[in-house]
Amino acid sequence: MLALLKRLLPGSMKIRARRYFMRGDQVRCPLCGQGAIAFLPAGTPPRAHALCPFCGSLERGRMMWLHLQRREMLRPGVRVLHIAPEKGLGRRIAAMPGVVYTAGDKHEPGYRYPAGTIDLDITAMPFPEGAFDLVICSHVLEHVPDDRQAMRELRRVLAPDGVGLVLVPQDLECAATFEDPTVTDPRERLRLFGQFDHVRLYGRDLVERLQAEGLRVETLYPGAVSSAEERFRMGLRAEEPLYEVRR
Ligand SMILES: [Zn+2]
């Protein structure tokens, strides 16, 4: 019966039905504020407890939002560049009073981007030096062949007292980043780097790579600032580091 219903319902009604059945009090998404019985699995291979059934946010978007809130980074007048913007997170940031919000992503055919997202090459950004007080760059660098040039650009567009927030998929078991520019087959990239359009898998040396391009780096772990119970309730991963970078 349920399978038949699933097949017959149009997509929008499926989402509504899922939201109805997922409503609850066991977890609460810090981004959209909705309570749910659980977060849903997401990713390849699927991670349990990852996706908010209401706003579609993942662990990293929720962690980013909590970090921005806790550090009170979204003050009036702050100029924010959000690279490859997550829709829910972008909406919350842009709605903060007085925040000057710019979103940019490399436009690829067949993809849809949140409204107002400009076409942006992160290795050659059309902004003057020191144009932003806050740059959010989450799960971007692993797609960029010349990530060192992207890091230099990140440094260039940061204001003297500006902060960049960098997140990447990372194998913390490995000291060295694994990359091979000759691997271009999407299936090989998936196998070696974890996703069909990733060009490397970062190791612990990401920090040195950022430092080599003139950035000062501070490593933060959600596990250090929240209890296991809090992380469960908000659907955060303890082991995923967030890097604050400064020029
Ligand atoms: Zn949510």
55: CA distance to ligand 1 center in Å? 4
pLDDT, residue 10, reads 63
* Chain CA centroid to CA 89, Å: 9
Higher pLDDT, 4 or 187: 187
141: CA distance to ligand 1 center in Å? 25
Closest CA to 125 of 96, 100, 95, 104: 104
Closest CA to 231 of 23, 58, 25, 59: 59
User: How would residue 6 be classed by pLDDT, with cut points 50, 70 and 90?
Assistant: low
74: CA distance to ligand 1 center in Å? 19
Closest CA to 44 of 235, 202, 193, 204: 193
pLDDT, residue 67, reads 93
122: CA distance to ligand 1 center in Å? 28
232: CA distance to ligand 1 center in Å? 14
Average pLDDT for 85-103 = 96
* Half-sphere exposure at residue 192, Cβ-oriented, CA atoms within 13 angstroms: 18
46: CA distance to ligand 1 center in Å? 18
61: CA distance to ligand 1 center in Å? 10
Is the pLDDT assigned to residue 1 strictly greater than 70? no
36: CA distance to ligand 1 center in Å? 9
90: CA distance to ligand 1 center in Å? 13
Average pLDDT for 30-35 = 95
pLDDT, residue 43, reads 87
183: CA distance to ligand 1 center in Å? 36
C-alpha–C-alpha distance, residues 42 and 126, integer Å: 34
Strand partners, 135: 81, 164
Ligand 1 ion: nearby residues, β-carbon < 5 Å: 29, 31-32, 52, 54-55, 57
pLDDT, residue 13, reads 74
pLDDT, residue 224, reads 73
Write out pLDDT tens, residues 134-182.
999 999 999 999 999 999 999 999 999 999 999 999 999 999 999 999 9
Give the class (CATH, top level) of 30-170+206-246: alpha beta
C-alpha–C-alpha distance, residues 162 and 189, integer Å: 34
Query: What's the pTM?
Result: 0.90
Closest CA to 148 of 215, 201, 103, 82: 215
185: CA distance to ligand 1 center in Å? 34
